[in-house]
C-alpha cells in the first residue's frame, strides 16, 4: 500500500547522503601524526551552525569518508576546523592535503556538550589524547561566556610530551583565561618537568565543587571509565557527567546500524551522552 503522505514526507528534503565541497584554507601539523584542517565552503555556501561536540563526515574524493569532530570555535562564522589523526585508508592521505585542496563535507551531526545547561556550575573537562579536539569548541564557548560559570578546570592526558595537542592554547588558557589547566603524559624523557601519569591522577588535585559540577569527558573508553569512577568518588552525580562515545560509522544519519551502542545510535543520539542514561550499557563489554 502506498505511503500515507503527510507533509513531512512529501516536502522536498535535501539529500543528507551527498557530500558538499569545502576547500582547505589552512593545513597545520599538530603532532607527528595529527593535523588540523581549516575549511571554507568551495561553493560560497554559508557555514552551517554547529554546536560544540558535533561532528562532520569528511570525504576524500574516491577514497572514502570518516567521522571527524569539529574542533574549532563555534563563534567563528567563516571556518570549519577539524583535527585529525592519520591512522588509515582515509585519514593518511588526508594528512597530505594542502591549502586549496577540496574535501567533501556532510554535517553537522550528533548531540552537543551541555554548555548552556552547565551555566552556573563549575565545569570540569577531562580529555585523553585526541579527545581534546571535540572538547575544544566547548572550551571556546565557556571562555566566551566566562562569567556564566564557576570554576573551569581542564585536565588533559597524552602519551608523550610530543603528543600534546594545541600546546600554545594550553599555555595561554593556563595563564590568561581564568581556567585551571593541568596536563600529564604517560611517559617522558628525563628533561620533562611536567606531570607523568594517567589523567585520573589530576582529578583529586583540581579545585571544584563536586556537587555543583558539570563534567565533560572524551577519550578512550577505559580512560573514561576511570575518570567517571574518580568523579563519582568525589561526589559528582551521574546526571552531571557527560561523555562522548566513538563507534564505527558508515552514514551518520541512523541508517547503516554500525554505530549502535545498546539501544542508542551514537551518530544521532550521541556522540555526547549524559552518563546516567547509558550507564548500564557503558559498564558492559562487547556491546
Partner 1 sequence: MAEESNNLPSVTYTLEREHLHQLFDVLTGKGYRLLGPAVRDGAIVYDELTAPSDLPVGWTDEQDGGRYRLKKRADDAVFGFVVGPHSWKKFLHPPALRLWQLRREGDGFTVIQEEAESPKYAFIGVRACELHAIAIQDKVFLESKYIDPMYKIRREGCFIVAVNCGQAGGTCFCVSMNTGPRATSGFDLALTEAMEGERHYFVVEVGSPAGADALSEISHRESQADEETTAERIVADTARQMGREMDATGIKELLYRNYEHPRWNDVASRCLTCANCTMVCPTCFCATVEDVTDLAGDTAERWRKWDSCFTLDFSYVHGGSVRATTKDRYRQWMTHKLATWFDQFGSSGCVGCGRCITWCPVAIDITEEVRAIRETESKKDSAGD
Ligand X SMILES: Cc1cc2nc3c(=O)[nH]c(=O)nc-3n(C[C@H](O)[C@H](O)[C@H](O)COP(=O)(O)OP(=O)(O)OC[C@H]3O[C@@H](n4cnc5c(N)ncnc54)[C@H](O)[C@@H]3O)c2cc1C
Q: How far is the CB of 18 from ligand FES (least distance, A)?
A: 15
84 scored as a contact of ligand X (CB under 6 A)? yes
DSSP per-residue letters across the chain? -PPP--HHHHS----TTS-EEEEEEEEEE-SSSEEEEEEEETT-PPPPP--TT-EEEEEETTTEEEEEEB-S-TT-SS-EEEEEE--STTHHHHHT--TT-EEEEEEEESBPP-TTTTTTSEEEEEEEGGGHHHHHHHHHHHHHTGGGSS-EEEEEEESSGGG-SSHHHHHHHHHHSS-EEEEEES---TT--SEES-GGGGTTTS---GGGEEEEEES-HHHHHHHHHHHHHHT--GGGEEEE-----S-SSSSS-TTEETTEETTTT-BEEEHHHHHHHHTSS--
User: By rule CB under 8 A, what string of x and - marks binding of each residue 196-235 to partner 1?
Assistant: ----------------------------------------
75 scored as a contact of partner 1 (CB under 8 A)? no
281 scored as a contact of partner 1 (CB under 8 A)? yes
83 scored as a contact of ligand X (CB under 6 A)? yes
Residues numbered 225 to 284 that lie near ligand FES (CB under 6 A) are 249-252, 254-259, 265, 267
**Closer to partner 1 at the Cβ: 46 or 286?**
286
Among 251, 270, 271, 273, contact with partner 1 (rule: CB under 8 A):
251
User: By rule CB under 6 A, what string of x and - marks binding of each residue 218-247 to ligand X?
Assistant: ----------------------------xx
Residues numbered 107 to 126 that lie near partner 1 (CB under 8 A) are none
User: By rule CB under 8 A, what string of x and - marks binding of each residue 76-105 to partner 1?
Assistant: -----------xx-----------xxx-x-
Q: How many residues would you count in the chain? A: 287
**Closer to partner 1 at the Cβ: 63 or 211?**
63
Residues numbered 116 to 135 that lie near ligand X (CB under 6 A) are 130, 133-134
Ramachandran category for residue 39: left, alpha or beta (phi over 0 → left; psi -120 to 50 → alpha): beta
Nearest-5° angle of CA 134, CA 139, CA 144? 140
Q: Which residues would be at the binding site for ligand X (CB under 6 A)?
A: 55, 64, 66-69, 83-85, 87-91, 130, 133-134, 246-249, 271
Q: Which residues would be at the binding site for partner 1 (CB under 8 A)?
A: 1-3, 5, 9, 13, 15-19, 21, 23, 42, 59, 61-65, 87-88, 100-102, 104, 246-248, 250-251, 253-258, 260, 262-265, 268, 280-281, 283-287
Amino acid at each position: 500500500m502506498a505511503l500515507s503522505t503527510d507533509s513531512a514526507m512529501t516536502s522536498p528534503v535535501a539529500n543528507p547522503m551527498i557530500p558538499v565541497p569545502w576547500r582547505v584554507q589552512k593545513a597545520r601539523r599538530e603532532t607527528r601524526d595529527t593535523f588540523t584542517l581549516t575549511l571554507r565552503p568551495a561553493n560560497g555556501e554559508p557555514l552551517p551552525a554547529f554546536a560544540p561536540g558535533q561532528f562532520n563526515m569528511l570525504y576524500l574524493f574516491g577514497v572514502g569518508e570518516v567521522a571527524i569532530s569539529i574542533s574549532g570555535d563555534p563563534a567563528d562564522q567563516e571556518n570549519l576546523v577539524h583535527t585529525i589523526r592519520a591512522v588509515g585508508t582515509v585519514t593518511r592521505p588526508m594528512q597530505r592535503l594542502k591549502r586549496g585542496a577540496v574535501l567533501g563535507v556532510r554535517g553537522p551531526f550528533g548531540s552537543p556538550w551541555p554548555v548552556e545547561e552547565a551555566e552556573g556550575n563549575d565545569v570540569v573537562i577531562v580529555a585523553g589524547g585526541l579527545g581534546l579536539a571535540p572538547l575544544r569548541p566547548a572550551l571556546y564557548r565557556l571562555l566566551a561566556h566566562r562569567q556564566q560559570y564557576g570554576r573551569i578546570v581542564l585536565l588533559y592526558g597524552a602519551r608523550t610530551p610530543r603528543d600534546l595537542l594545541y600546546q600554545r592554547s594550553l599555555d595561554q588558557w593556563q595563564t590568561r583565561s581564568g581556567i585551571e589547566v593541568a596536563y600529564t603524559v604517560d611517559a617522558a624523557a628525563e628533561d620533562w618537568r611536567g606531570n607523568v601519569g594517567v589523567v585520573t591522577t589530576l582529578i583529586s588535585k583540581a579545585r571544584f565543587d563536586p556537587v555543583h559540577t558539570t563534567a565533560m569527558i572524551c577519550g578512550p573508553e577505559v580512560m573514561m571509565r576511570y575518570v567517571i569512577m574518580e568523579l563519582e568518588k568525589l561526589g559528582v552525580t551521574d546526571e552531571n557527567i557527560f561523555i562522548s562515545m566513538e563507534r564505527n560509522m558508515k552514514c551518520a544519519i541512523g541508517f547503516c546500524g554500525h554505530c549502535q551502542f545498546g539501544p542508542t545510535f551514537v551518530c544521532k543520539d550521541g556522540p555526547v551522552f549524559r552518563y546516567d542514561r547509558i550507564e548500564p550499557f557503558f559498564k558492559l563489554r562487547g556491546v
